[in-house]
Structure 1
Amino acid sequence: MPDFSNQTNRATGLRFLWLTLLLVVIDQITKIWVAAEFELYESRVLIDGLFNLTYVHNYGAAFSFLSDGGGWQRWFFTAIAIAISVVLLIWMRRNPVGLWRQNLAFSLIMAGAIGNVADRLMYGYVIDFFDVHYQGWHWPAFNVADMAITIGAALMLLEAFFDNRRDKVENGQG
């Protein structure tokens, strides 16, 4: 059995879960608003030639990957997102609070995963609505959860360049 006694008296990365909760709430509120105010595929221009709000259903993953899978992908992506969230939660529990970049990244990724899992469980698809485009080319529609995952993943990549901080934090120097 693992010994967690040395972790009971120190601040952990779990202190960042407030951000996860906040982003999940914002994500769900924006999706509920879009679903209530827009017809499916309705688009409203926010910045002409650049940015619209367009209500779509995504049955797949990022970029509608496997959206035509026949339904099995709903449970596949749900299971993956739950597994990743559990791993990140355990990692955050083991991380000292001082590893804020890593904890922030994990918190953002969990928020996105949970936000999109909630959609998959409630509706069978993910509600997307941000539509960035330029000269007829459209980036795949996305939502607040997708932004959180993307920013979290980018922070994880940046974190890889700051590895030496971990040694300083663990030795009480950071």
Structure 2
Amino acid sequence: MIFFLIALFVFLLDWNIKNYIEDKFHMGKRKDIFNGKVTIKKQYNSGFCLNFLDNKKELVKKVTAIVFGVLALAYVIIIPGKHKSMKKLGLSLCLGGAASNVLDRFKRGYVIDYFTINIKPIKNIVFNLADIFIFIGSFITFLTSLSDGSSIHPNIEE
């Protein structure tokens, strides 16, 4: 149950921030926070990461829906199993973030990104929290898969 709540928290946190940004920020408005280390601004992303294939909205929708479905299936298979708490955490972070981005894409036709981290190599990339949770969750899932010698599928012999 805790892992479902983590996924739900991630989803609701990002979804509510996106709705706030959509309502309160116009394109071009910027607000620096954390002593200028982070900038809040609104940007629409119709493609994959970095607007890749933004001119192919339907393809992007289909691919993200399929990937989300595979992730949800892996989640349903892994969560009831014993042990593997870190892998469950990783999948929960991924699922919550992916759910927010997929809903955004299907409801609005694009994903709302809303902050930049003002570090030279990435200062021009606009993210949302869902992206960060997906990255962290993927990293945790990958590391735990390496350390236990498995993939994301459950060990049938458990």
TM-score bin (small chain): 0.7 to 0.9
Unaligned runs of 5+ residues in structure 2 are none
- Whether the 8 Å CA contact 1:74–1:124 is kept in 2: the answer is no
In the alignment, the residues of structure 2 paired with residue 51 and residue 40 of structure 1 have an alpha-carbon distance, to the nearest angstrom, of 17
Deviation readout 1:27-75 (Å, 9 max, x if unpaired)? 1110011111100232212245532001000001122221232x22342
- Whether the 8 Å CA contact 2:104–2:110 is kept in 1: the answer is yes
Identity of aligned residues (%): 25
Superposed, which structure 2 residues align to 1:9-28 within 5 Å? Answer: 15-28=2-15
Deviation, 1:19, is 0.5
SS of corresponding position for 1:95? coil
Deviation readout 1:93-151 (Å, 9 max, x if unpaired)? 4522x210010011111111101011011100000011112359624211111111000
Distance change (3 Å), C-alpha of 1:88 and 1:137: closer
Deviates more, 1:46-55 or 1:141-150: 46-55
Q: How high is the TM-score relative to the length of structure 1?
A: 0.77
SS of corresponding position for 2:31? strand
The structure with the largest alpha-carbon Rg is: 1
Partner residue of 2:16 out of 26, 29, 33 = 29
Unaligned runs of 5+ residues in structure 1 are 1-13
Distance change (3 Å), C-alpha of 1:136 and 1:87: closer
In the alignment, the residues of structure 2 paired with residue 135 and residue 112 of structure 1 have an alpha-carbon distance, to the nearest angstrom, of 25
Partner residue of 2:40 out of 34, 53, 65 = 53
Deviation, 1:88, is 2.2
Partner residue of 2:78 out of 92, 99, 109 = 92
1:157 aligned partner: 142
